[in-house]
Amino acid sequence: MSRLPVEKKVLSENDRIAAGLRERFLAQQLLCLNFISSPGAGKTSLLERTLERLSPSERVALLTGDIQTDNDAKRLARFGFPVKQITTGGTCHLDARMIERALADWPLDSLDTLLIENVGNLVCPSSYDLGEAAKVVVLSVAEGEDKPLKYPAIFFKAGLLILNKTDLLPYVSFDLGKARAYALQVHPGMEIIELSCKTGAGLDDWMNWLARRRESGRAEKA
Amino acid sequence: MHELSIANSILEAVRKERERLNGARVSKVGVRIGELAGVDPEALSFGFEVLVKGTDLEPLALEIESTSRRHECSQCKHVFTVVDYRLDCPACGAKETRCIGGDELELAYLEVEEP
């Protein structure tokens, strides 16, 4: 019996495909964002509010993942941007191969922004790199403010935290200060934006963040 | 519950390594899982047991090494394990420390029977 060291990532196959996607995105100056949250935190609503604020001439497309139904793709298609549904049929997360397949017949070179809505799940999607420039985690104030401590993986890996449904703050016991502090404990320096998709409060901050990231993607290449 | 997918990735990786080792008999696979990896070791062990049953790899044991979050102080370069999200340097008290580990999801070793 002998013990052989193997220093290798368990998800090296996923990481290999994700690295290929990231290379393609960079070459085309395309900004790819991966939206992750528990079910019902407001990923689809945030994307709806985002699309309605963009001019139809913007080169933005969306992939949306769900275990079943194409309800989200239908909601998002109303805004005239290309949308594709990925139905995982039971799998609790998107992986890089699903993205690669979905993009196979997609006019990727005509885009500068790809928004990926992951399956509603705060745990599993955090393990799978999709080639994105950043993960965006959405947490609603209808949830517990200690989510960052309970699910550190995604808050550690995400570049931006969106605290959604701030219009509900008067009716729930969610402590915004604590939520921010917990997120910063897990991920020092994490960017945080508070907003309400319902009232529109704070959406400008998000749109500015997105515009900056889209701009810096183009600048990086130039 | 993505531990089943991850267990499957481990089996695939073992198969690949076994090919590299010219079909050697692998009796155990060791994986390293960090506390920031978002993977539950118990669920992974359970998924692994279910998946390996009846395959060409059976009997194959899984050993999981759990790793903690580690930080390095940007001032005194002290490396420490983070407990209860206390990120300040325990040696010099500096506030600014950098995460250098704890999100591992890696194959660590294979135990192979000599031919």
**pLDDT tens for residues A110-156?**
899 999 999 999 999 999 999 999 999 999 999 999 999 999 999 99
Q: For B30, which DSSP code?
A: E
Whether residue A1 is predicted with pLDDT greater than 70 in this model: the reply is yes
Q: Do A127 and B21 touch (CB under 8 A)?
A: no
Whether the CB of A154 is below 8 Å from some CB of chain B: the reply is: yes
Residue A7, domain member (yes or no):
no
Residue A3, domain member (yes or no):
no
Query: What is the total count of domains within chain B?
Result: 1
Compute the mean pLDDT over every residue in chain A, rounded to the nearest whole number.
93
Residue A6, domain member (yes or no):
no
B105 contacts in chain A (CB < 8 Å): 9-11, 127
Nearest chain A residue to B10 by CA: give it. A10
Give long-range contacts, CB 8 A cutoff, 24+ apart: B21-26: B21/A4, B21/B110, B21/B112, B24/B112, B24/B113, B24/B115, B25/B112, B25/B113, B26/B57, B26/B60, B26/B110, B26/B111, B26/B112, B26/B113
Residue A174, domain member (yes or no):
yes
Whether the CB of A97 is below 8 Å from some CB of chain B: the reply is: no
Confidence of residue B2 (pLDDT cuts 50, 70, 90): confident
Residue A45, domain member (yes or no):
yes
pLDDT digits (tens, 9 = 90+) for B96-114: 999 999 999 999 999 998 7
Q: CATH number for the domain including B8?
A: 3.30.2320.50
Residue B92, domain member (yes or no):
no
Q: Are strands A113-117 and A60-66 parallel, antiparallel or unpaired?
A: parallel
**Contact of A59 with A113, CB cutoff 8 Å:** yes
Q: Do A127 and B37 touch (CB under 8 A)?
A: yes
Q: What is the DSSP string of chain A?
A: -EEEEEEEETTHHHHHHHHHHHHHHHHTT-EEEEEEESTTSSHHHHHHHHHHHS-TTS-EEEEEEESS-SHHHHHHHTTSS-EEEEE-TT-SS--HHHHHHHHTTS-GGG-SEEEEE--S-SSGGGG---S-SEEEEEEETTS-TTHHHHSHHHHHH-SEEEEE-GGGGGGS---HHHHHHHHHHHSTT-EEEE--TTT-TTHHHHHHHHHHHHHHHHHHH-
Give the residue carrying structure tokens 């949830």.
A143
Give the pLDDT confidence score for residue A69 in this predicted structure.
87
Residue A135 is encoded by which pair of tokens?
A: 């993960």
Residue A4, domain member (yes or no):
no
Query: What is the total count of domains within chain A?
Result: 1
Residue A110, domain member (yes or no):
yes
Residue A182, domain member (yes or no):
yes
Nearest CB to B5 within list A3, A91, A156: A91
Alpha carbon distance A165, A163 (integer Å): 7
CA-to-CA dists, residue A10 to A159, B6, B105, angstroms: 23, 7, 6
Q: Which domain holds residue A84?
A: 12-221
Give the pLDDT confidence score for residue A106 in this predicted structure.
87
**Contact of B36 with B25, CB cutoff 8 Å:** no
Give the pLDDT confidence score for residue B23 in this predicted structure.
84
ipTM: 0.84
Residue B87, domain member (yes or no):
no
Whether the CB of A190 is below 8 Å from some CB of chain B: the reply is: no
Q: Do A156 and B21 touch (CB under 8 A)?
A: no
Percent of chain A with pLDDT over 70: 97
Residue A145 is encoded by which pair of tokens?
A: 């403010």
A12 contacts in chain B (CB < 8 Å): 13
CA B6 to mean position of chain CA atoms: 11
Give the pLDDT confidence score for residue A203 in this predicted structure.
98
pLDDT digits (tens, 9 = 90+) for B85-94: 899 999 999 9
Give the pLDDT confidence score for residue A222 in this predicted structure.
42
B36 contacts in chain A (CB < 8 Å): 152-153, 156-157
Nearest CB to A149 within list B21, B85, B99: B85
Whether residue A221 is predicted with pLDDT greater than 50 in this model: the reply is no
Q: CATH number for the domain including A148?
A: 3.40.50.300
pLDDT digits (tens, 9 = 90+) for A147-205: 999 999 999 999 999 999 999 999 999 999 999 999 999 999 999 999 999 999 999 99
The answer, yes or no, to whether the previous bond of B59 is cis (omega within 30 of 0) is: yes
**Contact of B112 with B101, CB cutoff 8 Å:** no
Q: Do B113 and A1 touch (CB under 8 A)?
A: yes
Nearest CB to B109 within list A4, A154, A157: A4
Whether residue B82 is predicted with pLDDT greater than 70 in this model: the reply is yes
Confidence of residue A216 (pLDDT cuts 50, 70, 90): confident
Q: Which domain holds residue B56?
A: 3-67+102-112
